[in-house]
Chain A
Amino acid sequence: MSKNSVVLEVEKLNLYINDHHILKDIDIAFYKNKVTAIMGPSGCGKTTLIRSVNRLNDLIPGLKSTGSLSLNQQNLLELNPIQVRREVGMVFQRPNPFPTMSIYENVLAGYYLNGIKLSKDDKERIVTESLQQAALFDEVKDNIHRKGTFLSGGQQQRLCIARALAMNPKILLLDEPTSALDPKSTASIEQLIIELKSKVTIIMVTHNIGQASRVSDFTAFLYLGELVEYGPTQTLFTNPKHTKTEEYLTRKFG
């Protein structure tokens, strides 16, 4: 991959919480319009790494981080976190539509909460496009003013993806996006992830090794806060270079 296709470059990222060294000298480049999966055993720092990308760790007491995360030549650690989160959307493990808002309002929540005024036409367009991109539009178009919490788990998760996409982010972070879903909803989210990469760069954390192998183009393996191996998914899953990766993939631990 060429240097030009790098969207986000993490260099020498170290993160400490009090005396705990959580992330150790992480160097990793995320490529444009690719899906990158971050996998590793519990507690290896996967979630902490992607939460650093959209500055969700900032408020943890005792946190200190060094190094840089460059998004288009700007160090994310030095920007206003609100601005960062407009560029970097995030979807969490459990679907979390705002319970008091309708489907329509949920999609526009990013604009409402940022105090951005939109014309009615813009609202309609953004809602329709975002729901279409999240492959949810056809299922909800007749109930768009009902509460988002009436939807099934898989639909709620796609609504959360639509809400993130509505802000037109450069990067979409997915933190175990299907771990609370049934197999059918999981399959539809996986299909969606593959379709969405033409529009947005996706970084996903997953515990599900099979999911990483099915949907990602690149995979990073983290262990005890270190980036052990990073490369094209196909190579990493068939012929990993490091013994630790080999042991993890063959279920020797983790």
Chain B
Amino acid sequence: MVNPIEAAIKDLNNQFIRYCTSVEENVHLAVKTFMQSEQVNVQTVIDKEKEIDQMEIAIEEECLSIMARYQPLAKDLRFIVGILKMNNDLERIGDLAVNIVKKVKVFSENQTSVSKEGVSFFLPEMIQKVLDMLKKSLDSFTKQDPHLAREVCKIDDEVDHLKQEMKVLVLNKMKDSPDDLRQLSSVLRNSYHLERIADLSTNIAEDVIYFVEGDIIRHGGLLEK
């Protein structure tokens, strides 16, 4: 006999994994679209984001329903609270994917002059790290693996560092090439968006640690266990 709350939580877990996959795919598509200036995919990312918004609402409603019907406790309670928080974070990651593709038009206007001189700067490196963080944070949820989640928290500092370096480089470049200001500004904005995705991935990883182990590690809480 299946315990009803166990069944409801399992269904919610599966629903949330599908949601994670959709968000992750959309972020991948968004950064690819930006880097390769594929105008054609811009609308796809925006349309997908609308589906993601609907999924977010469905998950929140399911969490409320489980709380009202089964009054979850202990790990079940932490799981539901964790899902509610991660749900928010993922929805914002979805929004950032849209923000990223919205810069495609400007970026592609005169891309050759920007990228020719390597002005994409650390963008590819940053993208790689951010996608890695996002993947690890979502994997840490799927596998309920707090060790993997802790790795995510450590990469976050590297991304912050890259963003700072990029900022200096891009600002200098802006002084040298005022004609490329719009493109450079789109690069800068997107490095900020990427850094936000890294932050939100870290939040997700922290929530995984919380619901698996019960430890709150935000704001300088214990990272090592």
A residues touching B (Cβ–Cβ < 8 Å)?
209-210, 213, 237-240, 245-246, 249-252
Contacts and interface: CB of A to CB of B under 8 A. Distances in A.
A37 to B, nearest CB: 13
Given A239-B214, A251-B3, A251-B6, A246 B74 contact: yes
B71 interface: yes
A252 B77 contact: no
Contacts, number: 35
Interface string B1-23: 00101100000000000000000
A246 B74 CA distance: 6
A246 B78 CA distance: 11
A168 B72 CA distance: 38
User: Which secondary structure characterizes the binding site on chain B?
Assistant: helix
A250 B71 CA distance: 10
Contacts of B77: 237-238
Which of B3, B73, B76 is the most central at the interface, judged by chain A CB atoms within 10 Å of its CB? B73
B3 A252 contact: yes
B85 interface: no
A245 to B, nearest CB: 7
B214 A250 contact: no
Contacts of B218: none
Nearest to B73: A249
Contacts of A240: 74
Interface string B64-89: 00000001111111100000000000
B78 A209 contact: no
> Contact size class for B?
10 to 19
A238 B80 CA distance: 12
A246 B77 CA distance: 11
Which of A237, A239, A245, A246 is the most central at the interface, judged by chain B CB atoms within 10 Å of its CB? A239
Nearest to A241: B214
A112 to B, nearest CB: 43
B213 to A, nearest CB: 9
Contacts of A250: 5-6, 72-76
Contacts of B74: 237-240, 245-246, 249-250
A210 B78 contact: no
A238 B78 contact: yes
A252 B6 CA distance: 9
A136 B78 CA distance: 39
B113 to A, nearest CB: 56
B3 A238 contact: no
Nearest to B216: A239
A213 B76 CA distance: 15
A239 B81 CA distance: 13
A212 to B, nearest CB: 10
Contacts of A238: 73-74, 77-78, 214
Contact of A251 (B5, B78, B214): B5
A234 B217 CA distance: 19
Contact of A237 (B5, B6, B73): B73
A246 B75 contact: yes
Given A238-B214, A250-B76, A210 B6 contact: no
B90 to A, nearest CB: 23
A246 B213 CA distance: 11
Contacts of A210: 71
Nearest to B72: A250
A253 B74 CA distance: 14
Given A250-B5, A251-B3, 15 more contacts: A209-B71, A210-B71, A213-B73, A237-B74, A238-B73, A238-B214, A239-B214, A245-B74, A246-B75, A249-B75, A250-B6, A250-B73, A250-B75, A250-B76, A252-B3
